[in-house]
A and B are shown apart, each in its own frame.
Chain A
Amino acid sequence: MTEYSAFRHLTIGQYLPYGSVVHRLDPRFKILMLCLLMAAVAFATSYTASLILLIALLSIIHMSRVPVGYALQGLRPALPWIAIFAALQLIFYKGQYGPEPCSVVWSWGFISVTTCSLRLIALMVFRLLEFMLLISLLTLTTSTTELTHGLERLLSPLKRLRFPAHELAMVFTIALRFAPTLAGELERIMKAQASRGADFGEQGRLGFIRRTRNLLPLLVPLFLSALRRAEDLTLAMEARGYTGGRGRTSFIQLKALPSDYLALALVCVFCAIILVGNLESIDRQVFTAVSDCVRNVFGFVRR
């Protein structure tokens, strides 16, 4: 039954060991590339740039041999939220956005939809999808060990400033490591409570309050077991002589290969084009072309 295994369908955070080119890249470089691409996504203000980014991401996913459909599946839980954000922006956004002056498309009372808000929403949806694809791309192709080692090494120059790089990486590992465990635990508790006649939105939605109260039988046992696990983990770590990052050596020695530098260089160039290139003008050209075309067709029909 899908209702209880829903948590396991969260694609974000599930490593798929396919051993592709993307998998084999140095995790430090992958994290750097992720940051660069994130910046590109965040600052892409044209349709053309967004489209190019989306296509680029999908082709990287394809290269990593992760089924594209599978990566997209992970986006499903976020869709309702994106829809809500989009609706709110559509109704309430009144500022200026994009190069052209805004014109009101439709208004009713204090609600008004402008060309600017439409543009904002289209770009925002693109952006959110690309963000999530990026993050899942990283976690789908990088094991948590690699990821944390990469992160720790990237942050290690900050150690001189007494920045707790190792501790941060450790917290990160533990959080990632236990996410599926807790999901499994939650599923188990849900099943146990459902066996006692609890329903979790199975029979209609009988009001928010009741649904919130229904969470109590899940949250209390879940927290208890999480605390118990945390305690066990602490003891287990201390029993094996863990005292934090100082003087700790690592089994995994990261070594950058020429291919890593090449990939990073490619990503840099790509991001530079997205950020610096005047892609908005392409937008405008496409727009005028399309609107001309539409006008011609309409004109033709009218004639």
Chain B
Amino acid sequence: MTPVLQVEELHHTYLRGTPFETVSLRGVNMEVHQGEIVSIIGPTGSGKSTLIQHLNGLIRPQEGNVFVLGQDLRDPDLDVKGLRRQVGMIFQTPEQQLFEQYVGDDIAFGPRNYGLDRTEVRQRVKKAMGMVGLGFEEFKDRLTFSLSGGEMRKVAIAGVLALEPRILVFDEPTCGLDPETSSEFLTKIKELRDEEEATIILVSHDMESVAQLADRIYVLLQGQSILEGTSRQLFSQAGLLRSYGLDAPQVGQVMHGLRHRGIKVRVDLLSVSEAEEEIGRCFDLSQRQAETGA
């Protein structure tokens, strides 16, 4: 199966040819298949944002190749607007891009830009609002700037979802949200993949949410993709991650700590419930050993 998204040896330098030149990407390789949730992690300044801006043509490749849904991003005649409809981009703190007075209008901005007719726009707005969990009747005529931070972010995300993109790119979707709203967002993202069959790319600093969601992970360091693997493979190498300035999820850290103390637990665990089970198993085992010993 051909990947929906392919990045090969991508290089990028900001403000090339000026005294402010800064190299951002120096060789990134990535492949994403239909229906995957792929996460990109890496310390600040590792080039994550630059990388994802290539995916919908906000930045064009200077060196190397990017193919998205069979389209070559280097092609100067590429229909960028068309591409942006298929690749939804949700930037960090997307609520700051809202501008319409009413919620419904803001969400309709995208579909209207593509010249869809009124009924189609309405339908899409309704559906998108449903997907983020905002009641259509209740919220469509609310004043955008009277909403709470979490609601505004939902509106902004709905504004992108209304384009019905096939690939969705999230840049730090839970940044600055309280834990409850944050886990609600993560569940929604998973639903988008499961129900809408969207392919999802997730950029995050929050290892817990990455562990919870991602099928595969790419690690970027100083503009290079240095590691790739399933979440389980990657997060079981806590030491390696730490040497790159990244942490494994807390669950993994606890398991590593236990292992270090000589308790033979598995370390490739991603969620609290998995850890609970594993620790329980070990505990039972040691109890049984104690009984037989006695």
Which residues of A are in contact with B by a Cβ distance under 8 Å?
1, 4-5, 8-9, 14, 16, 67, 70, 73, 188-189, 191-199, 202-203, 216-217, 219-221, 224-225
Contacts and interface: CB of A to CB of B under 8 A. Distances in A.
Nearest to B160: A196
Interface centre among A67, A192, A217 (most CB of B within 10 A): A192
A14 to B, nearest CB: 8
B110 interface: yes
In the A-B complex, the 5 residue pairs with the smallest Cβ-Cβ separation, listed nearest first, are A197-B113, A220-B99, A195-B89, A196-B110, A192-B97
A198 B58 CA distance: 12
B114 A197 contact: yes
A70 to B, nearest CB: 6
Contacts of A203: 81
Contacts of A8: 15, 20
Interface string B248-285: 00000000000000000000000000000000000000
Contacts of B173: none
Most chain A C-beta atoms within 10 Å of own C-beta, residue among B19, B57, B94, B114: B19
B159 interface: yes
A237 B94 CA distance: 28
A188 B113 contact: no
Given A1-B58, A191-B91, A196-B163, A70 B99 contact: no
A11 to B, nearest CB: 9
A219 B99 CA distance: 8
15 contacts: A1-B57, A1-B60, A8-B20, A70-B19, A189-B96, A191-B91, A193-B97, A195-B84, A195-B91, A196-B110, A197-B84, A197-B163, A199-B81, A203-B81, A217-B99
B80 interface: yes
Interface string B92-135: 00101111000000000110011000000000000000000000
Given A4-B58, A217-B109, A195 B160 contact: yes
Contacts of B15: 5, 8
Nearest to B98: A221
Interface residues of B, number: 31
A interface, over-half SS: helix
Nearest to A217: B99
Contacts of A220: 98-99
Interface of B: 14-15, 18-20, 53, 56-60, 80-81, 84-85, 88-89, 91, 94, 96-99, 109-110, 113-114, 145, 159-160, 163
B256 to A, nearest CB: 38
Given A196-B110, A196-B113, A197-B84, A191 B58 contact: yes
B96 A198 contact: no
A269 B80 CA distance: 57
A153 B86 CA distance: 57
Contacts of B81: 197, 199, 202-203
A194 B56 CA distance: 10
Contacts of A192: 89, 91, 94, 96-97
Contacts of A1: 57-60
Contact of A16 (B19, B94, B96): B19
B19 A67 contact: yes
A26 B84 CA distance: 51
A286 to B, nearest CB: 38
Contact of A221 (B18, B58, B99, B110): B99
Nearest to B111: A197
B19 to A, nearest CB: 6
Contact of B56 (A70, A195, A199, A217): A195
